[in-house]
Structure 1
Amino acid sequence: MADDRDLLKRIARGDERAFSAFYRAHLDAVVAYLRRRVPEPELAFDLAAETFAVVALRADTYGGDGPPAAWLFGIARNKLRESLRRGRVEDEARRALGLEPVALEDEALARVEERAAAGGPALARLLAQLPEPTRAALLARVVDERPYEEIAVVLECSEQVVRQRVHRGLARLRAGLEGDDA
Structure 2
Amino acid sequence: MARDDHKLLRRIAAGDDRAFSAFYRAHLNAVVAFFRRRVPDAELAFDLAAETFAVVAARADTFDGSGPPAAWLFGIARNKLRESLRRGRVEDEARRALGLAPVALDDEDLERVEERAAGGGPALERALAALPEPIRAALLARVVDEREYDEIAAELECSEQLVRQRVHRGLARLRAGLEETR
Does the TM-score normalized on the shorter chain lie above 0.5? yes
Check conservation: 1:137, 1:151, Cα contact below 8 A. Answer: no
Check conservation: 1:137, 1:162, Cα contact below 8 A. Answer: no
2:65 — aligned with what?
64
Give 5+ residue unaligned stretches, structure 2.
125-134, 146-150, 168-182
2:111 — aligned with what?
110
1:148 — aligned with what?
154
Give the TM-score taking structure 2 as reference length.
Answer: 0.69
Q: How far apart, CA to CA, are the structure 2 residues paired with 1:103 and 1:17?
A: 23
Q: How does 1:31-110 map to 2 (within 5 A)?
A: 31-110=32-111
Give 5+ residue unaligned stretches, structure 1.
125-134, 153-160, 170-182
CA shift at 1:44, angstroms? Answer: 0.3
Check conservation: 1:140, 1:146, Cα contact below 8 A. Answer: no
Check conservation: 1:47, 1:80, Cα contact below 8 A. Answer: yes
* Paired-residue identity, %: 70
1:103/1:137 Cα in 2 relative to 1: closer, same or farther (>3 Å)? closer
Give the TM-score taking structure 1 as reference length.
Answer: 0.69
Amino acid in structure 1 at the alignment position of 2:52: T
Q: How far apart, CA to CA, are the structure 2 residues paired with 1:45 and 1:55?
A: 15
1:20/1:164 Cα in 2 relative to 1: closer, same or farther (>3 Å)? farther
1:180 — aligned with what?
none
Q: How far apart, CA to CA, are the structure 1 residues paired with 2:162 and 2:64?
A: 18
Aligned residues: 145
Encode CA deviations 1:108-151: one digit per residue, 9 max, x unaligned.
10111122135x59xx9xxxxxxxxxx788459777x9882762
Q: How far apart, CA to CA, are the structure 1 residues paired with 2:161 and 2:137?
A: 8
Encode CA deviations 1:57-78: one digit per residue, 9 max, x unaligned.
1111111121111110110010
Q: How far apart, CA to CA, are the structure 2 residues paired with 1:56 and 1:112?
A: 21
Is 1:13 matched up with 2:19?
no
RMSD (Å), alpha carbons: 3.0
CA shift at 1:5, angstroms? Answer: 0.5
